[in-house]
Each structure stands twice: as C-alpha cells, then as structure tokens.
Structure 1
Amino acid sequence: MLVDPTTGQLTAVSQSAVLANEAPEEVGHELFLQQIETSTPPCERAEDLLVGLRAGRRAVGEAAAAAGARAVAMATPVLAEQDEHFTPKSRYRQIQAEYGEMARQSLVCAMHMHVDVASDAEAVRVVDGIRPWLPLLVALGANSPYWQGRDTGHASWRSQVWSRWPTAGPAQPFGDVATYRAVSEQMLGWGAGLDAGMLYFDVRLAADYPTVEIRVADVCTDVEDALLVALLARALVATVAADPTRPTWRGDLLQVAGWRAARHGLAGDLVHPVEARLAPAREVFEATVEHCREALRESGDLDRVSASFERLVATGTGATRQRRVLESAGSLRAVVEDLARRTEESWA
C-alpha cells in the first residue's frame, strides 16, 4: 500500500508511482489508487525467488518515493481511512458499479503464487487436492490484525474481508476440466464476476499461464515469511500433482478451517489436514512437511522450510509483530512506521 510519509495514512498516488518506475521490474496498478503491485519472474531456486522479491520491492519503493509516498507491505489499512479512490480504469469502474460496498471495502493486499503444471487436467487435480493444506499457508502469512483503526481479533482479517466475494473461498471439488469450466462459466453467467479474473477461488487455473494460482496469503512484510509460504505452496502442488489421491473434504468444513487459521494464525489450534481434528499449529506444520517431504527434498528446500518455521515461531507472525509494536509504542501510527521500515529493510 502507498502511505503518506508524514501522516502514515494511505495516499492515492499509484498513477504517479507507476509512471515514475524506471526499474525493469513490473510496477502496476490495482483496484485502488492507494495500492501498487509488483511480481517476480518465474524461479526454480529459493535464492532466485528471494532476489526477485527484493528487486520487486525495491522497484515499488523507489517508484513510490518518486511520487512522494512510501510503499508498505501491509495487507489492510491499519489507520482509520475516510475515502476509497478507485483506479480510473473501465474495468474497475464496472466492479465499483456492480458490486458496490463489497468492492469499496476490498482495499486489501494479498500475495498470489503461481506454480507451473503439466496440463489443465493436472491443474484441476491440484485445485481439488490441495484444498485442506491451504489454511496453514493463511496462518503462516497472517499479517493483518488491524482494520481501519481497530483490532479485529483476527491474525488475517484480509482473508475475511476477501471472503465476502461470491466466488471467493474453498471451492467444491471439480473432478475434471470440463466441470471446472462449466462451473466457472455458470458463476460468471449469474453475475458473480465480470470475467475469469474475478473467479476468486482459493486456488484456480491461471488464465494466461500454464500454472495454478494460490491466492490465500496476506502480503508479508518480511520477505523470508513470503519465501516460506511460497516454498511450501510449490511443494504442495508438486506432491498433489504426483499423487492425486486425496481425502474428501466438504467445502463448508474447509471454510471453517480457513477461518480458524485467519482467526489465530500460529497462536491457536488449526484443523489437521489429514485427520480433520483440531491440532497445534506445529503439529499441522509437521504433518504438512511430512506430506510433501519428497518434493521439498527434490527442490532442496526441506531444511530451509523447517528453519524458517522455527524462526517464525520464535519471532511471531506478521500479525503478532504488529500487535507487539502497538503494545510497546502505544499507537497505530507506530505500527505503520514499523511496517514501512521493515518493508524498506526487506529490499536492502
């Protein structure tokens, strides 16, 4: 998000920031003028992804500075805000007109991950099979306890804001590509979205790339947190693609599992993705690592993922760190300043 350096309030200068970008990395618009977007190139190695994450943040940071703002990796507006400023593009105007308050309250920032797949058929198998493992990614990346000047009581309030969209959340299993296409077309035909870009399933087939797109995580302030979520996501995709056998999960139960992850982060029990019971976050993480151990070994990420989880347990999730700053400094303005500082340090 784009923040005024003096007040900490969001500032609607994304058009100027995008025009100011001189870096090779992508700097793009989003739904609101208070947001800015970047992405990484496709990567195979964790170190390359880390370099890409830092380069993208440096690009948006420098572009924001040229527009008189700071780029801050925060998932929700921390301070009380008065007005929404939609980016003046025809598609965004349509979204505003069609979806009203739901669109106006969607000023949030997420982290989406694309993982390549061999075919659409494999992609649908992954979409169906990966669902019970996704709440852990919500918990690991939880970075949005505050909304408009209030503590929401959640670790990831962004995910709850986004869940209001009619296509958002854990879809029912599709079974095959034809069913995925038919359900998607029916949803759009009923007005649940303007186009395929508004199919906000937790995980979906990407429209323009041979990938599945996992869409459950908050934007992380610290790049090491983002890397942990991305490495686990890739390993889960590879594991499900190699062995599509999966337990049958009801979508409504998965919605509750996602809510628990959003509510507590790593501080409370999560839903065990195999045994369908409440379990400590560490046990759920260990079950997830065991599930995709072979994929993590093949990518060389097993030790890194385990060490990153221990670091996250020791330091706390992004949500925990934000609350710690408020407790010590006594103001949400200090929380924004800390987020801005850590964002800028993340590309150093």
Structure 2
Amino acid sequence: MALEPFKTSAALTLGVELELQLVSLSDYDLTAASRDMLELLGRRPFPGNVVPEITESMIEVSTDVQTGHAGLLDQLHEIRDRLVEAGERLNIGVAGGGTHPFQQWTERRIFPKPRFQEVSQLYGYLARQFTIFGQHVHVGCSSGDDAMYLLHSLSRYVPHFIALAASSPYVQGRDTLFSSARLNSVFAFPLSGRAPFTLSWDEFATGYFRKMEATGVVKSMKDFYWDIRPKPEYGTIELRVCDTPLQVEDAAALAVYLQCLCAELLEDRSQLPAEDDYLVYNYNRFQACRFGLDGGLVDPRSHESLSLREDLLRTLRRLQPQAERLGAEAGLERLHQLLFVGNGAQFLRNAQQSSAGLEGVVASALQRFRS
C-alpha cells in the first residue's frame, strides 16, 4: 500500500507536542498516574489535546495549529495551568525535562494501548527504557517537495535545537556528563537517526517508503524515529530532537526559532541540500548532546570548526528580519538569553548542587514548570 498523499497545509504554521513527567509528590519518583490524569482532564474541554504515552508515568500534550509566537505561548500557558490544576487535585506533580533523574525503568508499566503493546513486544526492554520526554515541533509545508527540502536543509541546525533544549543530564540516579542523555535512548532504536536523502516527495513515497513497507519492517511513518520526519497526514515536517524544556516559554521559543529558519530557507534556495551535508551530522549531534551549548560543530560545507554558542548567536542575529515579520522577536530573545544563563541541564545541575540530592532536582523542575 502506497504512502498517503502529502496533505497541503499553510506554510510556516506551527504545532507543538510535549511529553511530560507525572511525579509523586510524596517521594518525587515517577508514578503510574496517566489514566487518572487523563480521566480528570477529559471532564471538560482541554485547550489543546492530551493523550497517553508509552508508559503510565507520562502523558503527551499538543497545541492546536498556530501561526505565531503569541498564540502558541497563550495556548501553552492554558495547557500548563490545566495540568497543574489537575495535578493538585490528584496530588501529582507535572514536570518537563528530558529524563527523570532517578526513576528505574524496570518499574515502569506499558500503557494498555494496542500500538504501545506491539512496540513493547518488538523492542523488549527498550520500550520501558523509552520513558523519556521530548518536545516535537511541526511546521506546515505547502507541498511534499518543500517538506523534503526543509527536512534536509535543517540538518545543519539540528545541534542548535539539541543544545538549547537539553535538560536530561541525569539517568538512573547518576550524572551522565551529557547535557542531553535522552537522545542516546532514542538512538538505540534501529529506525532512528536521519531520513534517507531525497528531495522529491514522490521519490520518497513511491521509492524508499514502498520498498521499506514491502520488507514488512514498517507500516506507517510512526515506525520511523528519525530526528526530523515528514508527516503527510498533517502536511508538516516534525522536529524530534528537543528534550522537553522545563518551562513552556522555552518550548514556544524553540518552535518559533524553527519557524524562522524555515522561513529563511524557503526564501533563499540558492544552496540546495546535498548528501554530503551529512558527513559530520553524527559528530555534530554528539557534540550538542554531550556538551550542550559548550559544544562545537563542523560546518559540513566549509569544514570550519565552530563554537556552537557563537554559531547560535550569529544565526539568531541573521534571523531578525524573519522574526520581525513573523512576530517571533520575543521568542528569539529568550533563546538569546539562554546562551548566557544556560540551558535546562545547567539549571538541573545547579539545583542538585544547592539541594545535595536528586529529590531536590525534581522539586526544582516541578516548580519551574509551574512558574
């Protein structure tokens, strides 16, 4: 069966998905409370959408389609407030962050949904280890060819998003020395990494996807865990490398940063993406995961070694015309400040030093989500 046609959507529209932690307020560990949370939230209209995730200690919320920073941030604030309110009634805390600092994956329970049960049967213990938390950003594309062009053109900027959003330094009670340890868990899946290089939607859908489907390995785009993947049913590309930020304000800022980059790339197509753009992709990705904003990267075309922080500063300055036109100035300014005050991983490490315990790290994450 061929992949469904790419649905046309308004270019540069936005949608955000956040996977969130459900925390017991008695011991600050994860708690299997998603069914209670979903039942309570379902009693009245939710400002976006809320669904279960693969284990019962997490949920996923998503916004409606948005056009800019102001509307996106307003809805994320509404979603956050509803979650906090529901959590208070259930004595459950809600937090961002890419990993929970000390939860044990062996204690997690798979949510009773057929797809999650299938994933658990296929991937074994990896499914429960997948109790990690990410932000996904969708950007609307007017055609499938535009989607593939943007997907590959953005490969140069993937380390930016990893470093800015990084908030998973602790795993199983230990400091991993990574800023984003979460992505190491994603990389364990065989269909992760990057999409195959093609700039034509027809070539992707009738060539690559049809061949993969014929092998029986994949049934839909959901089976790919790529860093960026096309979503034909929405008419979007989906960026998947970000840890869930500790605050929804950062989530909105990351989304409009992606929107501005896409706007610039659609305006100027003088440099089409090429297969060689991926020569240093895994190296740059590792640098951002391991060192965060203090990492480096290698430009795949000039081969110049760059400071990730300085490259971000240059890019933010260059995107000012797009930010002004899209109303994204406040979002980009927030990211500019993050370059100097530090990302979520730095905040969590500071919290551990001041509280001398990982329970204090979780308490700080809970408070930061509310504020």
Q: So what's the TM-score if we normalise by structure 2? A: 0.86
Instruction: State the one-letter code of the partner of 2:172.
Output: Q
Does structure 1 residue 168 correspond to structure 2 residue 192? yes
Pairwise CA distance, 1:234: 0.7
For structure 1, list consecutive stretches of 5 or more residues without a partner in the other structure.
Answer: none
For structure 2, list consecutive stretches of 5 or more residues without a partner in the other structure.
Answer: 1-20
- 1:226 matched to which residue of 2? 251
Does structure 1 residue 7 correspond to structure 2 residue 27? yes
Structure 2 distance, partners of 1:260, 1:189, is 36
Does structure 1 residue 20 correspond to structure 2 residue 44? no
Does structure 1 residue 186 correspond to structure 2 residue 208? no
Structure 2 distance, partners of 1:250, 1:200, is 20
Distance change in 2, residues 1:57/1:188 (3 Å): farther
Q: How does 1:13-162 map to 2 (within 5 A)?
A: 13-21=33-41, 22-25=44-47, 26-81=49-104, 82-162=106-186
Contact between 1:36 and 1:60, CA under 8 Å: does it hold in 2? no
Flag the structure with higher strand content.
2
Which is worse superposed, 175-184 or 243-252?
Answer: 243-252
Pairwise CA distance, 1:56: 1.5
Structure 2 distance, partners of 1:3, 1:192, is 35
Does structure 1 residue 253 correspond to structure 2 residue 280? yes
Q: How does 1:262-273 map to 2 (within 5 A)?
A: 262-272=289-299
Structure 2 distance, partners of 1:105, 1:190, is 27
Root-mean-square deviation over aligned CA pairs = 2.0
Partner of 2:139: helix, strand, or coil?
A: strand
Contact between 1:3 and 1:71, CA under 8 Å: does it hold in 2? yes
Contact between 1:133 and 1:273, CA under 8 Å: does it hold in 2? no
Pairwise CA distance, 1:338: 0.3
Pairwise CA distance, 1:13: 1.1
Contact between 1:202 and 1:216, CA under 8 Å: does it hold in 2? yes
Structure 2 distance, partners of 1:87, 1:44, is 33
Pairwise CA distance, 1:291: 5.3
Contact between 2:323 and 2:332, CA under 8 Å: does it hold in 1? no
- 1:281 matched to which residue of 2? 308
Pairwise CA distance, 1:192: 4.6
Deviations 1:118-165 (A, max 9, x none): 111111111121111111011111111011111111001111211122
Q: So what's the TM-score if we normalise by structure 1? A: 0.92
Does structure 1 residue 196 correspond to structure 2 residue 216? no
Contact between 1:14 and 1:64, CA under 8 Å: does it hold in 2? no
Deviations 1:300-336 (A, max 9, x none): 32x4355323321332100000001111111000000
Which is worse superposed, 333-342 or 22-31?
Answer: 22-31
Pairwise CA distance, 1:341: 0.8
Instruction: State the one-letter code of the partner of 1:16.
Output: D
Instruction: State the one-letter code of the partner of 1:129.
Output: S
Structure 2 distance, partners of 1:232, 1:339, is 24
Percent of aligned pairs with the same amino acid:
26
Deviations 1:198-245 (A, max 9, x none): 212211211421211111111001223222211111111222233333
Distance change in 2, residues 1:269/1:128 (3 Å): closer
Paired residue total: 344
